[in-house]
Amino acid sequence: MNNIAKILAQRFALGLLSLWVVSVIILVGVEFLPGDIATEILGQAATPESVAAFRRSLGLDLPLYLRYGQWLGALLQGDFGHSLANGREIGELLGGRLLNTLFLALVSACIAVPLALGLGFLAAIYRNSIFDRFINGFTLTCISFPEFFLAYLLILVFSVKAGWLPSLANIDPSQPLLEQLYRVTLPALTLTLVVLAHMMRMTRAAIINLLASPYIEMANLKGLSRWRIILVHALPNALAPIINVIVLNLAYLVVGVVVVEVVFVYPGMGQLMVDSVKKRDLPVVQACSLVFAATYILLNLSADVLSVVTNPRLRHPR
């Protein structure tokens, strides 16, 4: 338990440092983009006087370090501030969008994780067979394509040609659950194809490595069935790397949805972040970035802890 507590403390401290670095990078990155929210809202035809007055009303005439200090001080008190574009509280803006992003990630995970584990087990059992080669080739092909290409390809096949699924994932809390699932099918399938290869190949590799172990050979000599050997003897020792890669891919499902949400016009945090970058709405961009970064850091921390818990050798290093 001392090792786990030490890992938690170290990762938590590094996580806080990473969040601060992310906030500084986003601040500098948005500041150096051409234009600002004043020119975006007032338009290119606005006079310099009106732009200057609008900037003063938003506090944009203050030095960058003062604005960052004010924002950081409010954040430490749990206040994300207000959107510069519409004046709404950022916490209110993020609430529904975050739930939509988590819903999409959950649906994708419910498809990808069981499918990856099942395909990984079968590929390990039938190693070097036609099935194994086909699954490896298919998953590597999917992961080689950019997300937006896979998304547009699925839209072309299932929406434009077949007409089975909608090309826009415009969900609403008032819709029934089945209607929401129907509308997020294409973006969830896109994310599934992107993360499937990592989890499937790690599951396959972990089981194949253990099947060459002496205790597995002894189980074979005892005449135990192949399924019993894998499920009872090999799988428990393969859990650590499998859990690690699954949690890391779950982190990607949450933070890597930006491109997919934009393609399918999905009302999630990724779409909100892209829209806010276009408007140069710095507080909203920083809030979205910190939520994404915090989610990724927490899931990485969970992966480290679960790896230690499921592997006794990591709890008692030599």
Reported as a single tens digit per residue, the pLDDT across 75-117 is: 888 777 777 777 778 888 888 888 888 888 888 888 888 888 8
Distance CA 305, CA 12 (A): 12
| % of residues, the chain, pLDDT over 90 | 0
Reported as a single tens digit per residue, the pLDDT across 5-43 is: 776 777 778 878 888 888 888 877 777 777 667 766 766
| Residue of 231, 248, 246 lying closest to 122 (CA atoms) | 231
Task: Write out the DSSP string of 185-207.
Answer: HHHHHHHHHHHHHHHHHHHHHHH
Query: Could you give the angle at which helices 282-310 and 2-31 cross, rounded to 10 degrees?
Result: 160
pTM value surpassing 0.75 = yes
pLDDT at 253: 79
pLDDT at residue 318 above 70?
A: no
Quick one: average pLDDT of 66-82?
80
In the chain, the domains with their CATH numbers are 2-76 (no CATH), 95-315 (1.10.3720.10)
Give bridge partners of residue 82 from the DSSP assignment: 89
Give bridge partners of residue 89 from the DSSP assignment: 82
Q: Which residues contact 266 (CB under 8 A, 6 or more apart)?
A: 100, 104, 169, 170, 171, 184, 187, 257, 260
Q: 82 by DSSP, 3-state: which?
A: strand
Reported as a single tens digit per residue, the pLDDT across 147-166 is: 888 888 888 888 888 888 88
pLDDT-derived band of residue 317, with 50, 70 and 90 as boundaries? low
